[in-house]
Structure 1
Amino acid sequence: MHTTTKPRPRSQLISPNYTAQNWQDLNLDPDNADEAQWQKAGEIIKDRIEGRFLKPADALIEAEADKTQGTFGFAILALDFLVIETVQGFREGRINHTGQSETLFKNFLKEWSLFKESVSVEAEQEDKARKLYLSGRCALHHSGSTDFLKVGISGTALEFSADGLIRINRTLFHQSLSQEFTSFIEAIETPGDPILRRNVKTKMNEICQK
């Protein structure tokens, strides 16, 4: 009886240039590291998050480069807020964000230099982080609008005003987030933080098994 072999399905794309198989082929040991392998791991995660979130936001900013008043601010911030939660999920090795979004979002903010500079009183950081989560991330992702977040292309990157509004310069906010993301990738690629590497591996392994 003649049998035919079914073609092997193509491995799913996990970023513009890499597949799940590319990740699974890596030999990643956080404690006895092959640094070339971790360099490649950083490249794959960088390609995934830049390709899905940061580069689309860059394109929206560039599209309004010659305008004095932007209209893509909420779309840019929606992408940036996804980056915040996604990166923190990698840092903590969270394979399921259900019920964890607020904690992840706030944890990222409280370690981010931009946020700490904007809220210099440490005792106020938890409250302000929650306000940005509710008025920014939740409002935009759930209803596409907010009454307490004002987005523009001028002023400081992030300001919690005395009138209760949160004002964001979407260009400066995005640039600072991109710099923070670069630092995150550098931390993956640089020896010295096996806990981060272990968490990153845990999360990406789960992604690539789906």
Structure 2
Amino acid sequence: MYIPWLQSQYQKGAIIASFCTGTFLFGASGLLNGKLATTHVDACSRFSAAFPSVILKPDQVVTVDGRFYTSGGSTSTFHLLLRLVQKYCGNEMVIRIAKIFAIDLDRYSQSYFGTFVPSRNHKDELVKKVQENLETRFHEIGSLEDIMKDIPSSRRNFARRFKLATGIPPIEYLQNVRIESAKKQLEQTNQNINEIIDRTGYSDPKSFRKVFNKLVGMSPMEYREKFNVR
């Protein structure tokens, strides 16, 4: 019912917008194939799996591609609406509305709202065993060779098998587990950064900060300032 209606509205020249996981309905319409889109940061992997033809931008708060608008998690709706106001009413009105409703206009990324939740929704028992090992021993595992110990498979075949089951390579999985641990420590403790780096298994602070910035979209100190409420 809704999908034919969306398709009909687009054919009539309408601009179509979605927010949060409403992008799934949008994706099911086929209208987003080959187009830019975003959705709730924690739903991005599921969206990519369901709609591989859509050019998903997981970190972006809002995407605009022709007559298609999408936004991330619920409060990103404010930014989506401001983009529509900008289109029809101009920048002056956007600034006025942002001030009235106390909306920060400088939110360009939603990466730091994400939470890495390891997927176990597969039937590969060997991969599940490795996932459990990575999640409990992440602070002492240093390389893929460490992960491969006692695994009856070549490095190449196992990496392919792991990615097929979880959606990401084993080293990237390890990085996500480590950074998620660091985020929790930044949120809940006043430990200094070097202590946190050591507890997450990184020996090189520069490498830690590089990976943290890549996955979270800001520095560890910026993250602590935003989310530590102690």
TM-score by length of 2: 0.25
TM-score by length of 1: 0.26
